[in-house]
Structure 1
């Protein structure tokens, strides 16, 4: 049971979706418009200026975070815009966005609860915390 659970955890993000697969939906497809606000464009320039010239791609995590904060979650069109702004291949942006669980690639609710399910957390009984949360929320 735990081996399956570990495998599922390794292959899923916090919202339970597969990390490495994108399926176009009406609200999440490359044709959905996404533009950074003028304020966020200024923030992006400031972020990029923290890195040496020619290394814009080093700002990918910070710019993805900014896109997620602006939109509430991270649609594929936002990832494509990040790739465009940082002048890097979109695949490299997707790799970062799918690797880290802090990026929500699906819309999230008003409250977003995450519980660590890595091996060290599981050894400290994170499963019981997760079960208590599910019970309290009636899930």
Structure 2
């Protein structure tokens, strides 16, 4: 598994285990994440949010582009937490820590994918800003 995919899986594992109500106006304590919850994923060091919009790459996987975006109020940074395809979980069920999930982009309804295709922009499997 490449570095980028490993980083996303590790981040989601940590996120689901230690989610806080930072942007949602909660008290800053732990919150339970349920299937169907609308979330934003923020990179801690840069504060960029996982962002997408209805624009596909013209090469590589040909799927929708996914990037990091700095604007807190960006509507294209919302993702819906969904269960795995073979799961019996339903919307509203609490997600146990360590569960593998799927992320669906709120606006386009497309799924977050990871592939071993180099980025058509950077030529790498992942992009670094630092």
**TM-score normalised to the size of structure 2?**
0.29
Greater fraction of residues in helix: 1
Higher-Rg member (1/2): 1
**TM-score normalised to the size of structure 1?**
0.27
Greater fraction of residues in strand: 2
